Structure 1
Amino acid sequence: MAKDRARKRPNLLLTGTPGTGKTTTATALADATQLRHVSVGDLVRDKGLHDGWDDELECHVINEDLVCDELEDVMEQGGNIVDYHGCDFFPERWFDLVAVLQTDNSILYDRLSKRGYAGSKLSNNIECEIFQVLLEEAKESYPQDIVLALKSDTVADIDRNVASLTEWVRQWHPMS
């Protein structure tokens, strides 16, 4: 259920371990629904919303407050698909649905290896998926009834997820 009565279109969060298909799913869903795709990773990089670089994990150290400040007005308007591998720092009121993409570990290992992930970066992400860290984070951060776990192993899974999420967007109505 929508938390913000002013929104005319829903906000969705697509989260999951890197390599689970968030960006692929978000891009296809944005095309199907005309919602705006917000890639938090791109936003952090493009607008400098970070506190430097983590050499071990080979990524920016996100400044969560700066990200939330940057997104506040856009999220209030509604009509967004936010794509990021974390979720516990976003305000609960922003999202009408939180979809956690999950991928079989052997498939995920291959995807991340092809991206050049190695060492602790690779093992940390595989362990994150094994222990369902992102699903637990979503369940702890948002009402249970808006958190949805979606299998994302194959192109057919992604197509099915996009179709079901598109249908959810079409049926969504703001609170009256």
Structure 2
Amino acid sequence: MSEEAPTSPPRSSPNILVTGTPGTGKTTTAEMVALAAGLEKVTVGDLVKERGLHDGYNEEYDTYWLDEDKVVDEMEPMMAGGGVCVDFHTCEFFPERWFDLVVVLRAETSRIFDRLEARGYKSNKVQENVECEIMQVVLDEARESYKPEVVMELHSNTVDDMESNVEKIVAFVEEFRARNQ
């Protein structure tokens, strides 16, 4: 007989992951969703820096070496009650039970290139992220890590796209809350 993971009481408000290649608009979208839907926003990259959830710094790519176990341990209590909108560029290491919706933002590679270059990313980092978007790495990770019914792919090329995406996600939050009162 196999042991089952402990179950927590049903959430009255969903947990949402907004993910995608850097430059697809994750942070802005997550901020807008959190504000419009009354969710707590967690930007994993900030959490990693602020709480030392890494194994050092990668000079070549100007980023931290993420310690996935530390991140999961740190976030577990935050996620238990629901009502959290998480923003991060990858998703496969998060427990499936955490999220009621996984939004994968996609953008044209020319837009990603321009956005990352404007942020001052090193050329090797820009190129790697553009290639990741071409190969739909984050979308494939989401599809492999979560049930198909919780993964939503949305295009994020323009301000209109972003506003439409926020409306769709907020509608999901409202429907979830109505079903789980």
Please give the range of the TM-score, normalised by the shorter of the 2 chains: over 0.9
Structure 2 distance, partners of 1:56, 1:150, is: 31
Q: 2:79 aligns with which of 63, 71, 75?
A: 75
Written as runs of structure 1 = structure 2, the 5 A alignment for 1:21-170 is 21-170=25-174
Structure 1 distance, partners of 2:151, 2:174, is: 18
8 Å contact from structure 1 (residues 14, 101) kept in 2: yes
RMSD: 1.4
Superposition deviation, residue 175 in structure 1? 6.2
What TM-score does the superposition give when structure 1 sets the normalisation length? Answer: 0.95
8 Å contact from structure 2 (residues 19, 87) kept in 1: yes
Q: Identity across aligned pairs (percent)? A: 49
Question: Which 5+ residue runs of structure 2 have no aligned equivalent?
Answer: 1-6
8 Å contact from structure 2 (residues 22, 89) kept in 1: yes
8 Å contact from structure 1 (residues 5, 175) kept in 2: no
Runs of 4+ with deviation above 3 angstroms: 173-176
Structure 2 distance, partners of 1:77, 1:5, is: 8
Query: 2:86 aligns to what SS in structure 1?
Result: strand
Structure 2 distance, partners of 1:100, 1:55, is: 28
8 Å contact from structure 1 (residues 4, 93) kept in 2: no
Question: Which 5+ residue runs of structure 1 have no aligned equivalent?
Answer: none
8 Å contact from structure 2 (residues 12, 180) kept in 1: no
| Cα deviation digits, residues 65-123 of structure 1 (max 9, x gap) | 00100110110110000000010000000000000000101111100110112322111
What TM-score does the superposition give when structure 2 sets the normalisation length? Answer: 0.92
Superposition deviation, residue 4 in structure 1? 5.3
8 Å contact from structure 1 (residues 4, 94) kept in 2: no
Higher relative contact order (CA 8 A, sep 6+): 1
Counting matched residue pairs gives 174
8 Å contact from structure 2 (residues 16, 86) kept in 1: yes
Higher-Rg structure is: 2
Structure 2 distance, partners of 1:153, 1:162, is: 13
